[in-house]
């Protein structure tokens, strides 16, 4: 069987390249990094006609092969390294029907690399509305290629595209124009220096900026200055557009009388210097309101199912360490994160809707004006906004920023933006300590979540001002963004995005939580002291002498009250003769729970928690919360999974994690999770790094441990002081 056809998907940003990729690959996608660098690599497989199979590599969006940023340099490397793993059999250049002239510049560059290249003209469905007509056959002759006219929105042209890919060997590899015509003498010299290499590859290799600054300085220019090279590149650009204009002159026409100006009218509203920001804030508030309202039902259902599953495991399997590990360690830990899948999915859903509609580019344009006074690049907006999903790809997205100073500042402040890993922590704390109610139709809980997102963004800006002042690094970049056409989001693209992002979050977090849950269960179920070994005798003696503690008494009273209320609703009544036996059963359970709590406090994890408790007690936390804060350095979302495991260790009755946290009491027999401690925790997680993976990426991007260590130290101090201040003021 022949090997799969390797396809490189190339195109300018906002041409619908991702939509074409999704149409070709469906859910057969995987995301990773290119070997040796932290640029995201997206690939997938597709079935082609004639029994062939294709491997599609979605390359980063770029306007030219002569790139100015590190991630775009990946396109150059993949398309020129013949011996490389990803060197394509065929290149598919995706263009936007409304911006075809500009998109064809990249097409001619790729074709001149002598790779079989075909052109995809996307968004064909808007042609009638925009008054556009294309003579496809004539344009194919002019460009010496094959063209697939597609509409990913309507699924048109995809099968034709697959047929063209399968028949890639029939494509012409003839160059668009002779590069030597821009300076015959200079290219004759290059031919002597590189006799066995194609002239165009020699030229772009010479003109290509190197990511390595020292290598860039030492690059041999063969008698030309850098300014000379820029002038030659300018000549090349003119030559290419002369060729493109000639090809489009009689093949691509626009009837301006038919075209509509809807986008321009809408832009005047959405990018208005006042109303633009108000509209964006209103959209965010609606998103957070929906996250709470829509996701509450599936979240409560999942929470209850995991609690029931844990109870079923304990009832069905023989008593012992293995059963306890499954019920109290694995199920409790994974349940602590699974309950937040609906909220995470809704967050990614709304982000995908904003991106697919074209509105996100308008937000980036708006925020560019906000960034400049704080010493950031307009391009810093993209990492800061993408940081709401995850800080790791957000840090990688800074590679589009040319200025090292602006890029470094953006890397250091990106973790302040509220990522999806913080969402589980915020949601459960808000549900516990923020009351129901609303103002102007927006719930207090949604407003609190919105405030935390705004707070993170404002702290990022404040930190950027400080860094801009103290970092003695020169450099400034300029910001340019293309406004894509407004369009109705495609359901298929939205579905793929939500599934892939949510799956990535759950699997990534799940692996960490599973490992930590097992370790925590072991540490919480074992101990070396006499108190742990003789816990049952010690606690029974104390109860016989002093009675059950306040938590147990509340548990018994609340349980009896709930039974009476349930009976009243059903029209029945609990017989007075049965009350003593019911109360005795509840007291037995409470006694067992006190024994389990005593063992937990004197276990390995209990002594670890007691050791760090003096550090976290001023913030309003007990030793259990301290352990959760400590373990969440692996990943922020581990906080909830840790508490789910700790509260489940030795517990006879399986409650939902939310109910168990709500019932937890402090040393004064008051609810541990109150407004003061809840706000303290939310502020701590709003400002703390608490993410080992992000630190590793920052180290890799800055090529030094100095910056991530500075980042970790500064953010930890800010988080601790903010949490301390909040608790002391509200307590």
User: For 154-207, what is each residue's pLDDT tens digit?
Assistant: 888 899 999 999 999 999 999 888 888 888 888 888 888 887 778 888 788 776
Evaluate if residue 133 carries a pLDDT over 50: yes
592: left (phi over 0), alpha (psi -120 to 50) or beta: alpha
Average pLDDT, the chain: 80
**What gap in Å lies between CA 164 and CA 170, rounded to an integer?**
9
**What gap in Å lies between CA 296 and CA 303, rounded to an integer?**
10
Helix axes 199-207, 226-248, angle to 10 degrees: 130
Q: Which among 126, 161, 125, 124 has a CA at the least distance from the CA of 146? A: 161
Least confident of 153-157, 208-212, 595-599, 633-637: 208-212
* Domain map (residue ranges) of the chain: 1-260, 275-470, 510-545+593-730
pLDDT band at 260 (very low <50, low <70, confident <90, very high): low
Evaluate if residue 30 carries a pLDDT over 70: no
DSSP string of 485-550? PP-PPPHHHHHHHHHHHHHHHHHHHHHHHHHHHHHHHHHHH---SHHHHTHHHHHHHHHHHH---H
Output the pLDDT for position 676.
Answer: 92
Exposure string over 329-354, b if 16+ CB within 10 A, otherwise e = bbbbbbbbbbbbbbbbbbbbbbbbbb
Q: What is the SS3 assignment for 648?
A: helix
User: For 288-305, what is each residue's pLDDT tens digit?
Assistant: 777 767 777 887 788 788
What average pLDDT does this structure show over 22-49?
Answer: 68
Evaluate if residue 556 carries a pLDDT over 80: no
User: For 663-684, what is each residue's pLDDT tens digit?
Assistant: 777 777 788 889 999 999 999 9
DSSP string of 177-213? S-GGGG-HHHHHHHHHHSTTS-HHHHHHHHHSPPSSH
What average pLDDT does this structure show over 626-634?
Answer: 83
pLDDT band at 354 (very low <50, low <70, confident <90, very high): confident
Output the pLDDT for position 145.
Answer: 94
**How many CB atoms are closer than 10 A to CB 509?**
25
Output the pLDDT for position 336.
Answer: 66
Nearest 5°: phi and psi at 705?
Answer: -85, -10
Output the pLDDT for position 350.
Answer: 83
Q: Are 680 and 726 in contact (CB under 8 A)?
A: yes
How large a percentage of the chain has pLDDT more than 70? 85
User: For 218-233, what is each residue's pLDDT tens digit?
Assistant: 445 666 777 788 888 8
Of 329 and 569, more confident: 329
**How many CB atoms are closer than 10 A to CB 706?**
10
pLDDT band at 123 (very low <50, low <70, confident <90, very high): confident
Q: Are 652 and 529 in contact (CB under 8 A)?
A: no
Residues 6 or more apart in contact with residue 421 via CB below 8 angstroms: 390, 505, 509, 635, 636, 637, 691
What average pLDDT does this structure show over 488-499?
Answer: 81
What average pLDDT does this structure show over 458-482?
Answer: 77
> Quick one: how far is CA 284 from the chain centroid?
17
Output the pLDDT for position 658.
Answer: 73
Helix extents (H) in 526-649: 530-533, 535-546, 550-569, 579-601, 604-616, 623-631, 638-648
Of 575 and 126, more confident: 126
250, 256, 260, 262: CA torsion to nearest 10: 90
Evaluate if residue 590 carries a pLDDT over 80: no
Helix axes 623-631, 491-525, angle to 10 degrees: 130
What average pLDDT does this structure show over 619-632?
Answer: 87
**How many CB atoms are closer than 10 A to CB 557?**
12
Residue with tokens 């937040």: 340
Output the pLDDT for position 27.
Answer: 65
**What gap in Å lies between CA 599 and CA 608, rounded to an integer?**
14
Q: Are 226 and 210 in contact (CB under 8 A)?
A: no
Q: Are 45 and 4 in contact (CB under 8 A)?
A: yes
Q: Which among 388, 433, 437 has a CA at the least distance from the CA of 284? A: 388
What average pLDDT does this structure show over 506-512?
Answer: 71
Output the pLDDT for position 718.
Answer: 95
Q: Which among 618, 628, 627, 630 has a CA at the least distance from the CA of 723? A: 618
Q: Which among 208, 11, 177, 201 has a CA at the least distance from the CA of 91? A: 11
Q: Exposure of 114 by Cβ count < 10 A (0-12 exposed, 13-18 middle, 19+ buried)?
A: middle
pLDDT band at 211 (very low <50, low <70, confident <90, very high): very low
Pairing of β 90-96 and β 5-11: parallel
pLDDT band at 651 (very low <50, low <70, confident <90, very high): low
Whether pTM > 0.85 for this model: the answer is: no
Evaluate if residue 337 carries a pLDDT over 90: no
Q: What is the SS3 assignment for 671?
A: strand
**How many CB atoms are closer than 10 A to CB 503?**
14
Evaluate if residue 717 carries a pLDDT over 80: yes
Output the pLDDT for position 117.
Answer: 94
**Per CATH, domain 1-260 is 3.90.226.10:** no
């Amino acid at each position: 069987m022949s090997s799969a056809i390797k396809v490189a998907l190339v195109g300018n940003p906002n041409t619908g390249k991702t939509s074409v990729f999704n149409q070709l690959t469906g859910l057969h996608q995987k995301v990773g990094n290119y070997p040796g660098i932290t640029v995201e690599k997206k690939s997938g497989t597709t079935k082609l006609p004639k029994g062939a199979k294709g491997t599609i590599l979605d390359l980063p969006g770029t306007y030219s092969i002569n790139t100015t940023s590190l991630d775009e340099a990946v396109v150059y490397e993949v398309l020129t390294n013949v011996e490389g793993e990803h060197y394509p059999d065929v290149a598919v250049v995706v263009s936007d029907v409304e911006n075809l002239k500009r998109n064809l510049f990249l097409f001619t560059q790729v074709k001149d690399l002598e790779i079989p290249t075909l052109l995809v003209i996307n968004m064909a469905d808007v042609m009638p509305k925009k008054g556009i007509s294309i003579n496809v056959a004539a344009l194919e002759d002019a460009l010496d290629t094959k063209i697939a006219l597609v509409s990913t929105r309507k699924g048109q042209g995809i099968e034709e595209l697959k047929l063209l890919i399968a028949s890639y060997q029939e494509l012409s590899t003839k160059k668009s124009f002779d590069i030597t015509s821009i300076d015959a003498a200079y290219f004759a010299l290059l031919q002597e220096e590189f006799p066995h290499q194609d002239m165009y590859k020699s030229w772009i290799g010479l003109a290509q900026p190197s990511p390595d600054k020292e290598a860039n300085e030492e690059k041999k220019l063969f008698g030309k200055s850098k300014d000379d090279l820029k002038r030659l590149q300018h000549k090349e650009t003119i030559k290419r557009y002369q060729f493109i204009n000639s090809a489009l002159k009689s093949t691509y026409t626009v009837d301006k009388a038919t075209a509509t100006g809807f986008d321009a009218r809408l832009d005047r509203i959405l990018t208005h210097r006042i109303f633009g920001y108000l509209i964006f804030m209103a959209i965010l508030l609606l998103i957070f309101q929906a996250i709470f309202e829509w996701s509450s039902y599936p979240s409560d259902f999942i929470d209850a199912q995991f609690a029931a599953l844990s109870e079923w495991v304990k009832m069905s399997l023989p008593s012992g360490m293995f059963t306890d590990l499954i019920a109290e360690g694995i199920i409790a830990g994974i349940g602590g994160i699974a309950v937040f899948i609906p909220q995470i999915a809704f967050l990614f859903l709304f982000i995908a809707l904003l991106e697919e509609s074209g509105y996100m580019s308008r937000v980036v344009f708006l925020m560019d004006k906000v960034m400049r006074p704080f010493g950031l690049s307009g391009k810093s907006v993209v990492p800061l906004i993408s940081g709401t999903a995850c800080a790791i790809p957000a840090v990688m997205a800074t590679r589009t920023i040319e200025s090292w100073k602006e890029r470094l500042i953006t890397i250091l402040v990106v973790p302040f933006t509220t990522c999806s890993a913080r969402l589980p922590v915020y949601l459960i704390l808000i549900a516990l300590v923020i009351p129901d109610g609303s103002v102007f139709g927006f719930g207090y809980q949604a407003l609190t979540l919105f405030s935390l997102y705004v707070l993170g963004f404002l702290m990022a800006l404040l930190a950027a001002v400080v860094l801009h002042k103290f970092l003695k690094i020169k450099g400034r970049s300029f910001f340019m963004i293309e406004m894509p056409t407004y369009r109705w989001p495609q359901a298929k693209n939205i579905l793929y995005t939500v599934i892939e992002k949510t799956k990535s979050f759950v699997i990534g977090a799940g692996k960490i939580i599973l490992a930590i849950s097992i370790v925590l269960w072991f540490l919480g179920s074992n101990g070396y002291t006499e108190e742990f070994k003789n816990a049952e005798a010690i606690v029974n003696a104390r109860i016989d002498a002093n009675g059950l503690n306040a938590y147990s008494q509340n548990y018994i009273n609340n349980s009896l009250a709930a039974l009476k209320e349930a009976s009243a609703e059903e029209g029945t009544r609990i017989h007075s003769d049965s009350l003593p036996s019911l109360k005795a059963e509840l007291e037995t359970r409470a006694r067992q729970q006190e024994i389990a709590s005593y063992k937990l406090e004197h276990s390995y994890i209990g002594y670890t928690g007691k050791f760090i408790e003096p550090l976290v007690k001023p913030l309003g936390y007990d030793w259990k919360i301290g352990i959760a804060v400590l373990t969440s350095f692996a990943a922020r979302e581990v906080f909830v999974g840790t508490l789910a495991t700790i509260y489940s260790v030795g517990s006879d009755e399986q409650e939902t994690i939310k109910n168990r946290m709500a019932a937890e009491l402090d040393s004064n027999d008051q609810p541990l999770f109150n407004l003061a401690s809840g706000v303290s925790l939310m502020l701590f997680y709003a400002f703390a790094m608490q993410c080992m993976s992000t630190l590793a990426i920052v180290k890799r991007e800055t090529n030094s441990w100095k910056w991530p260590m500075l980042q970790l130290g500064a953010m930890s101090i800010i988080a601790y002081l903010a949490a301390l201040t909040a608790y002391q003021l509200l307590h």
